[in-house]
Structure 1
Amino acid sequence: MRLPFPRSLRSQITASVALLVVVVVALAGLIIVDRIDHRDRTDVDRQLTVRAEKAQGDAYKLLSQGDGAGGDDYGGLLAGSQSLVRLISGGKIIDSRGDQPGVDIPVPVADGLSTVQVGGQSWRSLVEPVDTTGDGTDDAHIQVLQDLDPIEQRLADNTRIVAGVAALATLVAGGGVWLITRVILQPLQRLRTGAQRIRPTDTSRLLPQVRRPQEVADLSASLNRMLGQLQTSMQATRRFTADAGHELRTPLTTLGMNLETLQRNPRLPAAQRQEALDAMTVEHRRITALLEGLQILARGDAHALPPRAAVDLPALLDEAVRHARNRHPGTAYALHIAASEPAPHVEGWPAGLRLAVDNLLNNAALHGRVPHGQVHVSLTWDAGSAHITVSDNGPGIPADRREAVKARFARGPHPHSHGSGLGLALVQQQAELHGGALSLGDAPGGGLMATLSVQSGRTGP
């Protein structure tokens, strides 16, 4: 069965401290009480030994005195001292001095120290043999007893005092901790109140800043950074959704118009029908490319990527350029790979890098000079980085627009209708996923030079 435990942090701290205090105080008190009781019982044993020695030396005097004597000199055993001295011989009590208990104390059967329980009363007993040779009392023993009730009462009183002190200390500590934690946990309460005020529609509200204690201040700063990232991501998602809807609306509208035209005009001339079908095919490809690009971007944003693998950049570029020549026969592609050895070792996603290179090659062909377009592709590397450069001889992009065209759904100054606006955004994402960057500049022939840099020698993200 699970014991009930407070749910609030304040109650948990108070209960924990109160429990710790009661355990420490009670344990310390019991140790002290035990040491006091041990000291008292040791003192009793020592006194019994002293009294037994005194009685031993005066055994004959003890035998010669009567019970009616006004006092005794044997260890100060006077009436009311709760002590008793008995001379025993042959299993019988010869004489006794001191306080006589209300019940008979049995004759001891062994020498030494022992505790005797008689009528609910405890006595500490010490029995020692007495040398009485020559007086007719062979096998004599002296027994000295001390009533332990005062010691038992002192032990009970001390135990009650410890219990009272532990209870009082627990109450005081619990009350003090309850008040102190109210002050200490106030910054957390402020964070909680601030968090409750944040609404999904309010993307600008942050948690209150806390300066002390340091742990709560660090928590506040971390949560605010997380909220800032979430707000940025939410705003980007909203813009992305709106842009995606806008980009999909145009091709879907065109498809709808062409379908409606074909439905309303079943006897449309073959040439016009083919023209409508060709237009629908182009829009279908555009929608498919747009959706594929969105899917890739979403996977990259979520880091839902396959394990990294070794990428042979020279082989990847060679294959990508050969396929680009087939896709764009009117564009001349030239590939140059640095001759220095060894080739860069890149750990990454081959499909992602191939997608990035294909986009750069397609952009260079689509936005380069038409006809007689020329695209130069090169691979170079330095310490820790590999650089893939693609240059065209087209009109290029103005310097003030180069960062903007990296955004999703952004297009250059001379956009093509069949472009999705995601090409450079995909390249930028792959560059970041591979620890690099995408930079745009002026090509030697006056066009655009795009450089994709990735880290080499990497084994993890």
Structure 2
Amino acid sequence: MSRPERPGPRRWAARLVPRTVQSQVAAGVAGLVMLVVGLAGLTIALRIDHRDRADVDRQLTARAAKVQQDAGKLLADGETHTADDYGGLLAGSQSLVRLIAGGRVVAARGDQPPAAIPVPTRDGFSTIDVDGEPWRSLVRPLADGSGARLQVLQSLEPVEERLADGQRIVVAVAVAASLAAAGGVWAITGVVLAPLRRLRSGALRIRPTDLEQRLPVATRPQEVADLSATLNRMLERLRASMLATRRFTADAGHELRTPLTSLGIDLETLLRNPDLPAARRQEILAAMTAEHHRMTSLLDGLQTLARGDAEALPAREGIDLTELLAAAVDRARRKHPTVRYDHATTPPVGVDGWRAGLTLAVDNLLDNAALHGRADGTVEVRITTTETEVRIAVADDGPGIPADEYESMKRRFTRGRQPRSDGSGLGLALVDQQAHLHGGSLRLGPAASGGLEATLVLPTLPPRPHRQPGRKS
């Protein structure tokens, strides 16, 4: 039986890291506060310790100068004493004064420690260890030329105790500050993250069957407000995409049922009647070809509408609408050679949009006018502009449609009361969708020739600022 795998260092580290943002922020701030307060406190404590040690050195210097004035008394006494009978200079100060001659101590006054203090070998300041306790020592030669040296010592135990007390205070303050900071940050972060928790709760309530469900709208903080607005826009796009998919499926199923049934009947007729006359067979094949073209056109139109409903659109670009319209008119003339297209060239007009979508809209307007006008009639194409919009008006000379049907003609699969072609009924619906996707509209009205005038209205691009010669942008 295999042994369970022990968690490695990385897994242990991952377990030690808090899982929630609130915990991570609180732990991070607590650690940062502890580091900053600890470093600041340690710096202050070390600075105080340095000052205390400098004070000890100054006291030793002053004491050595004072004792040198009475060095003769020490030499005259010639014995080592621990009692303070030396003018009150060393009373209760954990200090010691020694006179050294010939490599040995010849006199001493002050607080003599239990352990022996080694005889110094050099002059000046030094720190020595006496029975595990630090002492500060200053050695100077006597000024009388006798060769004797004076050693003044001071215990550093009080200084060490003050440094230890300071370090303990720093640790206590750093821990208390970090805990207080962690608690405060925990509370503040909880308030800040409350909108995010509401967003999460709202997201958990969303079901695929409820396309109208939205996340709670947050107003503060700004980042959470932007996040909630972005997510709600994403949900709206998903809703539009799902509705477009459902509509595409429903429309395709509804509209393709009849032509597929007709194709099935025609195929069955051809299979059951192998001896069918050539003329009849050709008639059935022509009908099947027409149904095939109609289904292909229907699927292309439905697919384009579905993309528009789902806003699955490419990046916008600046488009010269005059050039696009001229190219569309040339294609329409080749496609409908018996129809006369009356179109005059105009100055360039810029719009912001999708070239494929605008091309589709203009082609459908021109085809619709050719199909519903007279077979050898005239289609008038005009483009006019204002400061804010451009209008492409396409008018045919057919019978037109009643005014009460203008809006219904923009709906999908609407072909009017007396259709004059076998179209899918999606032409004007495609134009209307592209108009709205580009921030414009489709307007229907009577033409001067008695037919229908369809006007595509689009916003124009703002004029580019004039750049003066020689001036850099």
TM-score category (smaller protein): 0.7 to 0.9
Q: Does 1:109 align with 2:121?
A: yes
Aligned to 2:469: none
In structure 2, relative to structure 1, the CA distance for the partners of 1:269 and 1:447 (3 Å cut) is same
Aligned mate of 1:254, from 252, 259, 262:
262
Inter-partner Cα distance in structure 2 for 1:169 and 1:455:
61
Contact 1:360 1:423 in 2 (8 A): yes
Aligned to 1:376: 380
More displaced stretch, 104-113 vs 254-263: 104-113
Aligned to 1:389: 393
Residue 41 of structure 1 and its aligned partner are, at CA, apart by 1.5
Within 5 Å, give how 1:312-323 maps onto structure 2: 313-314=322-323, 316-323=324-331
Q: Does 1:15 align with 2:66?
A: no
Inter-partner Cα distance in structure 2 for 1:452 and 1:326:
22
Q: Deviations over 1:101-147 (max 9, x none)?
A: 333333333333222234432111222332013xxx23x33221111
In structure 2, relative to structure 1, the CA distance for the partners of 1:306 and 1:170 (3 Å cut) is closer
Aligned mate of 1:168, from 155, 171, 176:
176
Q: Does 1:71 align with 2:87?
A: no
SS of structure 2 residue aligned to 1:393? coil
Inter-partner Cα distance in structure 2 for 1:265 and 1:372:
40
Residue 431 of structure 1 and its aligned partner are, at CA, apart by 4.3
Inter-partner Cα distance in structure 2 for 1:328 and 1:81:
120
Inter-partner Cα distance in structure 2 for 1:74 and 1:108:
25
Q: Does 1:452 align with 2:456?
A: yes
Q: Does 1:293 align with 2:301?
A: yes
Aligned mate of 2:344, from 306, 315, 336:
336
Residue 149 of structure 1 and its aligned partner are, at CA, apart by 2.0
Residue 412 of structure 1 and its aligned partner are, at CA, apart by 4.0
Equivalent position amino acid for 1:313 in 2: T
Aligned mate of 2:199, from 181, 191, 195:
191
Equivalent position amino acid for 2:135 in 1: W
Contact 1:347 1:459 in 2 (8 A): no
In structure 2, relative to structure 1, the CA distance for the partners of 1:322 and 1:190 (3 Å cut) is closer
Inter-partner Cα distance in structure 2 for 1:329 and 1:291:
26
SS of structure 1 residue aligned to 2:19? coil
Q: Kindly report the root-mean-square deviation, in angstroms, between the aligned alpha carbons of the 2 structures.
A: 3.3
Equivalent position amino acid for 1:392 in 2: D
Aligned mate of 1:324, from 327, 332, 350:
332
Aligned mate of 1:356, from 338, 355, 361:
361
Contact 1:85 1:144 in 2 (8 A): yes
Aligned mate of 2:48, from 36, 47, 54:
36
Aligned to 1:98: 110
Residue 174 of structure 1 and its aligned partner are, at CA, apart by 3.0
Inter-partner Cα distance in structure 2 for 1:322 and 1:269:
41
Inter-partner Cα distance in structure 1 for 2:183 and 2:76:
69
Contact 1:348 1:434 in 2 (8 A): yes
Inter-partner Cα distance in structure 2 for 1:421 and 1:384:
31
More displaced stretch, 373-382 vs 431-440: 431-440
Contact 1:378 1:390 in 2 (8 A): yes
Aligned to 1:278: 286
Aligned to 1:143: 151
Q: Deviations over 1:286-308 (max 9, x none)?
A: 11112333444456655564895
More displaced stretch, 28-37 vs 47-56: 28-37
Q: Deviations over 1:316-337 (max 9, x none)?
A: 5445334434433443322223
Residue 457 of structure 1 and its aligned partner are, at CA, apart by 5.5
Equivalent position amino acid for 1:281 in 2: T
TM-score when scaled to structure 2?
A: 0.83
Residue 386 of structure 1 and its aligned partner are, at CA, apart by 4.3
Aligned to 1:200: 208
TM-score when scaled to structure 1?
A: 0.84
Aligned to 1:231: 239
More displaced stretch, 175-184 vs 90-99: 175-184
In structure 2, relative to structure 1, the CA distance for the partners of 1:415 and 1:144 (3 Å cut) is farther
Aligned to 1:245: 253
Residue 53 of structure 1 and its aligned partner are, at CA, apart by 1.6
SS of structure 2 residue aligned to 1:421? coil
Q: Deviations over 1:251-287 (max 9, x none)?
A: 2222112112222222333333222211111110011
How many residues are aligned here?
450
Could you tell me which runs of 5 or more consecutive residues in structure 2 were left unpaired when the two chains were aligned: 1-8, 465-473
Inter-partner Cα distance in structure 2 for 1:306 and 1:9:
36
Aligned to 1:86: 98
Contact 1:311 1:350 in 2 (8 A): no
Aligned to 1:365: 370
Equivalent position amino acid for 1:94 in 2: V
Identity %: 59
Aligned to 2:62: 50
Within 5 Å, give how 1:437-448 maps onto structure 2: 437-448=441-452
Q: Deviations over 1:152-193 (max 9, x none)?
A: 222223222322332333334434444454444333222211
In structure 2, relative to structure 1, the CA distance for the partners of 1:391 and 1:156 (3 Å cut) is same
Residue 7 of structure 1 and its aligned partner are, at CA, apart by 2.1
Residue 200 of structure 1 and its aligned partner are, at CA, apart by 0.6
Contact 1:240 1:408 in 2 (8 A): no
Within 5 Å, give how 1:114-125 maps onto structure 2: 114-125=126-137
Inter-partner Cα distance in structure 2 for 1:204 and 1:299:
20
Contact 1:18 1:171 in 2 (8 A): yes
Inter-partner Cα distance in structure 2 for 1:207 and 1:348:
31
In structure 2, relative to structure 1, the CA distance for the partners of 1:221 and 1:431 (3 Å cut) is closer
In structure 2, relative to structure 1, the CA distance for the partners of 1:237 and 1:126 (3 Å cut) is same
Residue 197 of structure 1 and its aligned partner are, at CA, apart by 0.9
